[in-house]
Amino acid sequence: MKTLKLGIAGAGFAARFHLENLPEAGVEVVGVTSAREESRDAFAAKHKLRAFASVEEMLPEIDVLDICTPPSSHQQYILAAARAGKHVIVEKPLTGFYGSPEKTSKREMLDAVVASGRELLDAVRGAGITLGYAENFVYAPSVQKEREIIEKSRAQILRMQGEESHNGSHSPVYGIWSVQGGGSLIAKGCHPLGAILYLKRKEGLARMGRPLRPASVSARTHSITSIPGFEDRGFLRTKYQDTEDYALLHVTFEDGTVADVTASELVMGGIYDYVEVFANNHRTRCRISPVSVLDVYNPRHEQFKDIYLVEKISSNEGWIPASPEEGWSLGYGRELRNFIECVREGRTPESDVELALDVTLTIYAGYVSAEEMGREVEVRRV
Protein backbone atom coordinates (compact mmCIF):
# COMPACT_ATOMS: atom_id res chain seq x y z
CA MET A 1 0.00 0.00 0.00
CA LYS A 2 1.31 3.43 -0.94
CA THR A 3 2.25 5.66 1.99
CA LEU A 4 0.25 8.85 1.77
CA LYS A 5 2.27 12.03 2.20
CA LEU A 6 0.70 14.91 4.09
CA GLY A 7 1.64 18.55 4.47
CA ILE A 8 0.36 20.88 7.17
CA ALA A 9 -0.63 24.48 6.49
CA GLY A 10 -0.31 26.38 9.76
CA ALA A 11 2.09 26.14 12.67
CA GLY A 12 -0.09 26.94 15.66
CA PHE A 13 -2.20 25.07 18.21
CA ALA A 14 -4.31 23.13 15.70
CA ALA A 15 -1.24 22.08 13.71
CA ARG A 16 0.32 20.72 16.89
CA PHE A 17 -2.60 18.54 17.94
CA HIS A 18 -3.09 17.31 14.36
CA LEU A 19 0.58 16.31 14.22
CA GLU A 20 0.31 14.52 17.58
CA ASN A 21 -2.61 12.41 16.35
CA LEU A 22 -1.61 11.80 12.72
CA PRO A 23 0.66 8.79 13.45
CA GLU A 24 -2.50 6.89 14.42
CA ALA A 25 -3.81 7.55 10.91
CA GLY A 26 -0.84 5.88 9.20
CA VAL A 27 0.37 8.78 7.08
CA GLU A 28 3.79 10.37 6.53
CA VAL A 29 3.96 14.06 7.44
CA VAL A 30 6.58 15.59 5.15
CA GLY A 31 6.36 19.31 5.70
CA VAL A 32 4.74 22.45 7.07
CA THR A 33 4.11 25.94 5.83
CA SER A 34 2.92 29.10 7.53
CA ALA A 35 2.53 32.75 6.60
CA ARG A 36 5.18 33.65 9.18
CA GLU A 37 8.64 32.33 8.28
CA GLU A 38 9.82 32.16 11.88
CA SER A 39 6.77 30.10 12.90
CA ARG A 40 7.11 27.52 10.12
CA ASP A 41 10.87 27.24 10.60
CA ALA A 42 10.52 26.70 14.35
CA PHE A 43 7.71 24.14 13.90
CA ALA A 44 9.66 22.30 11.21
CA ALA A 45 12.84 22.20 13.28
CA LYS A 46 11.05 20.98 16.40
CA HIS A 47 9.24 18.17 14.59
CA LYS A 48 11.94 17.33 12.01
CA LEU A 49 9.86 18.39 9.01
CA ARG A 50 10.66 20.32 5.87
CA ALA A 51 9.58 23.98 5.93
CA PHE A 52 7.91 25.19 2.73
CA ALA A 53 7.54 28.85 1.81
CA SER A 54 3.93 28.44 0.69
CA VAL A 55 1.09 25.99 0.16
CA GLU A 56 1.71 26.17 -3.58
CA GLU A 57 5.34 25.11 -3.09
CA MET A 58 4.29 22.21 -0.86
CA LEU A 59 1.45 20.80 -3.00
CA PRO A 60 3.62 18.91 -5.56
CA GLU A 61 5.28 17.00 -2.69
CA ILE A 62 2.13 15.74 -0.94
CA ASP A 63 -1.07 13.75 -1.39
CA VAL A 64 -3.09 15.43 1.37
CA LEU A 65 -3.16 19.07 2.49
CA ASP A 66 -4.06 19.51 6.17
CA ILE A 67 -5.30 23.09 6.65
CA CYS A 68 -4.80 24.40 10.21
CA THR A 69 -4.63 28.11 9.38
CA PRO A 70 -7.01 30.94 10.36
CA PRO A 71 -10.44 30.58 8.68
CA SER A 72 -9.95 33.49 6.26
CA SER A 73 -7.37 31.43 4.34
CA HIS A 74 -9.34 28.16 4.14
CA GLN A 75 -11.06 28.77 0.82
CA GLN A 76 -7.97 29.78 -1.13
CA TYR A 77 -6.06 26.73 0.14
CA ILE A 78 -8.91 24.31 -0.58
CA LEU A 79 -9.22 25.66 -4.11
CA ALA A 80 -5.46 25.43 -4.64
CA ALA A 81 -5.46 21.81 -3.44
CA ALA A 82 -8.43 20.95 -5.66
CA ARG A 83 -6.70 22.43 -8.72
CA ALA A 84 -3.68 20.27 -7.94
CA GLY A 85 -5.80 17.15 -7.39
CA LYS A 86 -4.80 16.90 -3.71
CA HIS A 87 -7.08 15.70 -0.93
CA VAL A 88 -7.95 18.09 1.90
CA ILE A 89 -8.38 18.06 5.65
CA VAL A 90 -9.65 21.44 6.85
CA GLU A 91 -10.19 22.77 10.34
CA LYS A 92 -13.51 24.34 11.24
CA PRO A 93 -15.19 26.48 10.22
CA LEU A 94 -15.07 25.55 6.55
CA THR A 95 -15.38 29.12 5.32
CA GLY A 96 -17.18 32.37 6.08
CA PHE A 97 -17.35 36.09 5.35
CA TYR A 98 -14.09 37.95 5.98
CA GLY A 99 -14.89 41.61 5.50
CA SER A 100 -16.00 44.39 7.83
CA PRO A 101 -19.13 43.73 9.94
CA GLU A 102 -19.60 47.48 10.19
CA LYS A 103 -19.83 47.96 6.41
CA THR A 104 -21.67 44.75 5.47
CA SER A 105 -25.11 43.55 6.53
CA LYS A 106 -25.48 39.99 7.73
CA ARG A 107 -27.75 39.21 4.75
CA GLU A 108 -25.00 40.35 2.41
CA MET A 109 -22.59 38.14 4.34
CA LEU A 110 -24.94 35.16 3.95
CA ASP A 111 -25.20 35.77 0.20
CA ALA A 112 -21.40 35.83 -0.05
CA VAL A 113 -21.06 32.62 1.99
CA VAL A 114 -23.61 30.82 -0.21
CA ALA A 115 -21.57 31.82 -3.28
CA SER A 116 -18.25 30.75 -1.73
CA GLY A 117 -19.78 27.49 -0.53
CA ARG A 118 -21.02 26.72 -4.03
CA GLU A 119 -17.55 27.42 -5.44
CA LEU A 120 -15.96 25.09 -2.89
CA LEU A 121 -18.46 22.29 -3.47
CA ASP A 122 -18.03 22.51 -7.24
CA ALA A 123 -14.23 22.49 -6.91
CA VAL A 124 -14.15 19.47 -4.57
CA ARG A 125 -16.60 17.45 -6.65
CA GLY A 126 -15.05 18.50 -9.95
CA ALA A 127 -11.56 17.47 -8.80
CA GLY A 128 -12.82 14.16 -7.41
CA ILE A 129 -10.92 14.71 -4.15
CA THR A 130 -11.86 13.78 -0.59
CA LEU A 131 -12.47 16.63 1.85
CA GLY A 132 -12.46 15.85 5.56
CA TYR A 133 -14.11 18.52 7.69
CA ALA A 134 -12.19 18.40 10.97
CA GLU A 135 -15.09 18.59 13.41
CA ASN A 136 -13.78 16.49 16.26
CA PHE A 137 -17.15 16.54 18.11
CA VAL A 138 -18.44 14.20 15.39
CA TYR A 139 -15.71 11.69 16.26
CA ALA A 140 -15.80 12.00 20.06
CA PRO A 141 -16.46 8.54 21.59
CA SER A 142 -19.64 9.74 23.28
CA VAL A 143 -21.12 11.10 20.03
CA GLN A 144 -20.16 7.98 18.09
CA LYS A 145 -21.86 5.78 20.70
CA GLU A 146 -24.99 7.94 20.42
CA ARG A 147 -24.84 7.58 16.64
CA GLU A 148 -24.85 3.79 17.11
CA ILE A 149 -27.83 4.00 19.49
CA ILE A 150 -29.79 6.13 17.02
CA GLU A 151 -29.06 3.87 14.06
CA LYS A 152 -29.70 0.54 15.78
CA SER A 153 -32.82 1.59 17.71
CA ARG A 154 -34.16 3.77 14.87
CA ALA A 155 -34.72 6.52 17.40
CA GLN A 156 -36.56 9.72 16.60
CA ILE A 157 -34.69 12.71 18.03
CA LEU A 158 -37.17 15.23 19.40
CA ARG A 159 -34.77 17.86 20.62
CA MET A 160 -31.07 18.38 21.24
CA GLN A 161 -28.99 20.92 23.06
CA GLY A 162 -25.27 21.55 23.10
CA GLU A 163 -22.65 24.01 24.18
CA GLU A 164 -19.05 24.97 23.77
CA SER A 165 -17.86 27.72 26.06
CA HIS A 166 -14.45 28.73 27.36
CA ASN A 167 -12.42 31.85 27.87
CA GLY A 168 -10.94 33.17 24.63
CA SER A 169 -8.75 31.25 22.20
CA HIS A 170 -5.19 30.17 21.51
CA SER A 171 -5.27 32.24 18.30
CA PRO A 172 -3.76 35.76 18.45
CA VAL A 173 -6.26 36.92 15.78
CA TYR A 174 -9.33 35.66 17.62
CA GLY A 175 -11.98 38.37 17.93
CA ILE A 176 -11.24 39.96 14.55
CA TRP A 177 -14.12 39.37 12.12
CA SER A 178 -12.04 39.82 8.97
CA VAL A 179 -9.88 36.83 10.01
CA GLN A 180 -12.29 34.63 11.98
CA GLY A 181 -15.57 35.31 10.16
CA GLY A 182 -17.42 36.01 13.41
CA GLY A 183 -17.17 35.45 17.14
CA SER A 184 -18.51 32.89 19.58
CA LEU A 185 -21.31 31.65 17.32
CA ILE A 186 -19.05 30.47 14.51
CA ALA A 187 -15.80 29.84 16.39
CA LYS A 188 -17.29 27.89 19.29
CA GLY A 189 -20.88 27.17 18.28
CA CYS A 190 -19.70 25.29 15.18
CA HIS A 191 -18.58 22.39 17.43
CA PRO A 192 -21.84 21.37 19.13
CA LEU A 193 -23.79 22.40 16.03
CA GLY A 194 -21.66 20.08 13.89
CA ALA A 195 -22.39 17.12 16.17
CA ILE A 196 -26.09 17.98 16.35
CA LEU A 197 -26.49 18.25 12.57
CA TYR A 198 -24.48 15.04 12.15
CA LEU A 199 -26.72 13.06 14.52
CA LYS A 200 -29.86 14.37 12.83
CA ARG A 201 -28.45 13.35 9.44
CA LYS A 202 -27.81 9.86 10.81
CA GLU A 203 -31.33 9.63 12.20
CA GLY A 204 -32.81 10.56 8.84
CA LEU A 205 -30.68 8.00 7.00
CA ALA A 206 -31.64 5.25 9.46
CA ARG A 207 -35.37 6.00 9.52
CA MET A 208 -36.09 7.49 6.09
CA GLY A 209 -33.12 6.77 3.87
CA ARG A 210 -32.15 10.43 3.57
CA PRO A 211 -30.48 13.01 5.81
CA LEU A 212 -32.68 15.28 7.94
CA ARG A 213 -31.32 18.79 7.54
CA PRO A 214 -31.79 22.18 9.25
CA ALA A 215 -34.65 24.26 7.86
CA SER A 216 -34.61 27.51 9.82
CA VAL A 217 -32.95 29.25 12.75
CA SER A 218 -33.46 32.06 15.20
CA ALA A 219 -30.55 33.51 17.16
CA ARG A 220 -29.25 36.22 19.45
CA THR A 221 -25.66 37.39 19.85
CA HIS A 222 -24.22 39.73 22.49
CA SER A 223 -20.96 41.38 23.52
CA ILE A 224 -21.27 41.07 27.29
CA THR A 225 -17.71 42.10 28.16
CA SER A 226 -18.26 45.34 26.22
CA ILE A 227 -21.37 46.55 28.05
CA PRO A 228 -20.83 49.70 30.15
CA GLY A 229 -21.69 47.91 33.39
CA PHE A 230 -19.27 44.99 32.97
CA GLU A 231 -16.86 44.76 35.91
CA ASP A 232 -13.53 43.37 34.72
CA ARG A 233 -11.85 41.39 37.53
CA GLY A 234 -9.05 40.27 35.22
CA PHE A 235 -10.11 36.64 34.83
CA LEU A 236 -11.90 36.80 31.46
CA ARG A 237 -10.51 37.90 28.13
CA THR A 238 -12.18 41.13 27.00
CA LYS A 239 -10.29 41.99 23.81
CA TYR A 240 -12.68 41.27 20.94
CA GLN A 241 -12.26 43.79 18.16
CA ASP A 242 -15.63 43.44 16.44
CA THR A 243 -17.09 40.03 17.35
CA GLU A 244 -19.61 38.73 19.87
CA ASP A 245 -18.69 36.89 23.08
CA TYR A 246 -22.05 35.14 23.60
CA ALA A 247 -24.49 33.45 21.21
CA LEU A 248 -27.67 31.40 21.39
CA LEU A 249 -28.92 29.54 18.29
CA HIS A 250 -32.28 27.77 17.94
CA VAL A 251 -32.53 25.33 15.01
CA THR A 252 -35.71 23.86 13.52
CA PHE A 253 -35.22 20.80 11.32
CA GLU A 254 -37.14 19.70 8.22
CA ASP A 255 -39.27 17.35 10.34
CA GLY A 256 -40.25 20.05 12.87
CA THR A 257 -37.92 18.89 15.65
CA VAL A 258 -35.51 21.34 17.29
CA ALA A 259 -32.06 21.95 18.76
CA ASP A 260 -30.46 24.70 20.83
CA VAL A 261 -26.79 25.70 20.81
CA THR A 262 -25.04 27.99 23.30
CA ALA A 263 -21.55 29.40 22.76
CA SER A 264 -19.64 31.94 24.81
CA GLU A 265 -16.32 33.27 26.05
CA LEU A 266 -17.76 33.79 29.53
CA VAL A 267 -16.66 30.58 31.23
CA MET A 268 -13.74 30.06 33.61
CA GLY A 269 -12.21 26.76 34.67
CA GLY A 270 -11.46 25.25 31.27
CA ILE A 271 -13.60 24.05 28.40
CA TYR A 272 -17.31 23.32 28.91
CA ASP A 273 -18.50 21.09 26.04
CA TYR A 274 -21.47 18.74 25.74
CA VAL A 275 -24.30 17.54 23.50
CA GLU A 276 -27.53 16.16 24.96
CA VAL A 277 -30.09 14.16 22.98
CA PHE A 278 -33.77 13.78 23.92
CA ALA A 279 -35.32 11.06 21.75
CA ASN A 280 -38.63 9.18 21.69
CA ASN A 281 -36.98 6.07 23.13
CA HIS A 282 -33.92 7.26 25.08
CA ARG A 283 -31.94 10.22 26.42
CA THR A 284 -28.16 10.62 26.18
CA ARG A 285 -25.67 13.10 27.64
CA CYS A 286 -22.56 13.20 25.44
CA ARG A 287 -19.77 14.68 27.53
CA ILE A 288 -16.97 16.07 25.38
CA SER A 289 -14.82 18.04 27.83
CA PRO A 290 -14.16 17.72 30.68
CA VAL A 291 -14.57 13.94 30.71
CA SER A 292 -14.55 12.46 34.21
CA VAL A 293 -11.66 10.02 33.97
CA LEU A 294 -8.93 11.54 36.12
CA ASP A 295 -9.09 14.19 38.87
CA VAL A 296 -5.81 15.63 40.13
CA TYR A 297 -5.37 17.76 43.25
CA ASN A 298 -2.39 20.14 43.26
CA PRO A 299 -1.92 22.44 46.28
CA ARG A 300 0.71 24.63 44.61
CA HIS A 301 0.72 25.79 40.98
CA GLU A 302 4.53 25.79 40.65
CA GLN A 303 4.70 22.02 41.11
CA PHE A 304 2.71 21.38 37.92
CA LYS A 305 3.66 24.47 35.90
CA ASP A 306 5.21 22.36 33.13
CA ILE A 307 2.56 19.62 33.14
CA TYR A 308 -0.37 19.78 30.71
CA LEU A 309 -3.59 18.65 32.43
CA VAL A 310 -6.50 19.99 30.40
CA GLU A 311 -7.06 22.65 27.74
CA LYS A 312 -7.94 26.24 28.68
CA ILE A 313 -7.46 25.82 32.44
CA SER A 314 -6.14 29.09 33.91
CA SER A 315 -4.43 27.58 36.96
CA ASN A 316 -3.15 24.14 37.94
CA GLU A 317 -4.02 24.67 41.61
CA GLY A 318 -6.79 22.75 43.38
CA TRP A 319 -8.81 19.90 41.91
CA ILE A 320 -8.32 19.63 38.14
CA PRO A 321 -10.39 17.38 35.80
CA ALA A 322 -7.27 16.25 33.97
CA SER A 323 -7.38 14.62 30.55
CA PRO A 324 -5.13 11.54 30.31
CA GLU A 325 -5.61 11.25 26.53
CA GLU A 326 -7.33 14.12 24.73
CA GLY A 327 -6.69 12.61 21.32
CA TRP A 328 -9.13 9.85 22.30
CA SER A 329 -11.69 11.73 24.42
CA LEU A 330 -11.99 14.65 21.97
CA GLY A 331 -12.03 12.44 18.88
CA TYR A 332 -8.88 13.75 17.19
CA GLY A 333 -7.28 10.38 16.52
CA ARG A 334 -10.49 8.77 15.25
CA GLU A 335 -11.16 11.83 13.08
CA LEU A 336 -7.80 11.81 11.31
CA ARG A 337 -7.81 8.03 10.91
CA ASN A 338 -11.23 8.20 9.23
CA PHE A 339 -10.06 10.90 6.82
CA ILE A 340 -6.96 8.98 5.73
CA GLU A 341 -8.88 5.70 5.38
CA CYS A 342 -11.46 7.46 3.20
CA VAL A 343 -8.74 8.93 0.98
CA ARG A 344 -7.24 5.46 0.51
CA GLU A 345 -10.56 3.71 -0.10
CA GLY A 346 -12.43 6.43 -2.00
CA ARG A 347 -15.13 6.68 0.67
CA THR A 348 -16.94 9.70 2.10
CA PRO A 349 -15.80 10.74 5.61
CA GLU A 350 -18.26 10.80 8.50
CA SER A 351 -17.62 14.56 8.64
CA ASP A 352 -17.66 15.67 5.01
CA VAL A 353 -18.04 18.75 2.85
CA GLU A 354 -21.86 18.60 2.94
CA LEU A 355 -21.93 18.64 6.74
CA ALA A 356 -19.38 21.47 6.70
CA LEU A 357 -21.60 23.54 4.40
CA ASP A 358 -24.72 22.88 6.48
CA VAL A 359 -22.90 24.05 9.61
CA THR A 360 -21.59 27.19 7.93
CA LEU A 361 -24.89 28.18 6.33
CA THR A 362 -26.84 27.49 9.53
CA ILE A 363 -24.49 29.77 11.47
CA TYR A 364 -24.70 32.61 8.94
CA ALA A 365 -28.48 32.34 8.88
CA GLY A 366 -28.13 32.71 12.65
CA TYR A 367 -26.13 35.91 12.20
CA VAL A 368 -28.91 37.28 9.98
CA SER A 369 -31.47 36.37 12.64
CA ALA A 370 -29.45 38.01 15.41
CA GLU A 371 -29.12 41.22 13.40
CA GLU A 372 -32.90 41.17 12.96
CA MET A 373 -33.45 40.66 16.72
CA GLY A 374 -34.19 36.96 16.64
CA ARG A 375 -36.48 36.71 13.61
CA GLU A 376 -36.71 33.20 12.10
CA VAL A 377 -34.48 32.85 9.02
CA GLU A 378 -34.38 30.06 6.45
CA VAL A 379 -31.21 27.96 6.22
CA ARG A 380 -30.11 28.21 2.61
CA ARG A 381 -28.52 25.58 0.40
CA VAL A 382 -25.74 25.76 -2.16
Using H for helix, E for strand and C for coil, what is the string for 77-143? HHHHHHHCCCEEEEECCCCCCCCCCCCCCHHHHHHHHHHHHHHHHHHHHHHCCCEEEECHHHHCHHH
Q: Which of 10-24, 141-155, 173-187, 335-349 has the lowest mean pLDDT?
A: 10-24
Residue 141 falls inside a structural domain = no
**pLDDT tier, 170 (very low <50, low <70, confident <90, very high otherwise):** confident
pLDDT exceeds cutoff 90 at 27: yes
**pLDDT number for residue 121:** 98
CA 253 to chain centre: 21
- What's the DSSP call for residue 207? H
Residue 111's alpha-carbon distances to 79, 104, 115, 375, 382, in angstroms, are: 19, 11, 6, 18, 10
294 with 164, same domain: the answer is yes
Q: What angle do CA 281, 284, 289 make, to 5 degrees?
A: 170
Residue 142 falls inside a structural domain = no
283 with 211, same domain: the answer is yes
**pLDDT number for residue 169:** 84
The tally of domains found in the chain comes to: 2
50 with 106, same domain: the answer is yes
Mean of the per-residue pLDDT values for the chain?
95
Task: Give the residue with greater pLDDT, 178 vs 317.
Answer: 178
128 with 227, same domain: the answer is no
185 with 297, same domain: the answer is yes
pLDDT exceeds cutoff 80 at 231: yes
Mean pLDDT of 244-254: 98
266 with 210, same domain: the answer is yes
Task: Give the residue with greater pLDDT, 25 vs 75.
Answer: 75
262-278 pLDDT, tens digit each: 999 999 988 999 999 99
269 with 353, same domain: the answer is no
pLDDT exceeds cutoff 90 at 87: yes
108 with 163, same domain: the answer is no
**pLDDT number for residue 315:** 79
Helix, strand, coil percentages, rounded to 5, for the chain: 40, 25, 35
**pLDDT number for residue 40:** 96
pTM: 0.95
**pLDDT number for residue 139:** 98
- Give the structural domain span for 87: 5-135+335-357
Instruction: Find, among 318, 30, 312, 298, the residue nearest to 168 by Cα.
Output: 312
Q: Which residues pair with 87 in a beta bridge?
A: 64
Alpha-carbon dihedral sign for residues 298, 304, 308, 312: positive
252 with 232, same domain: the answer is yes
91-146 pLDDT, tens digit each: 999 999 999 999 999 999 999 999 999 999 999 999 999 999 999 999 999 999 99
252 with 178, same domain: the answer is yes
Mean pLDDT of 236-250: 96
Q: What is the CATH number of the domain that holds 340?
A: 3.40.50.720
122 with 212, same domain: the answer is no
Instruction: Find, among 175, 176, 177, 185, the residue nearest to 104 by Cα.
Output: 177
Q: Which of 18-22, 124-128, 174-178, 317-321 has the lowest mean pLDDT?
A: 317-321
155 with 254, same domain: the answer is yes
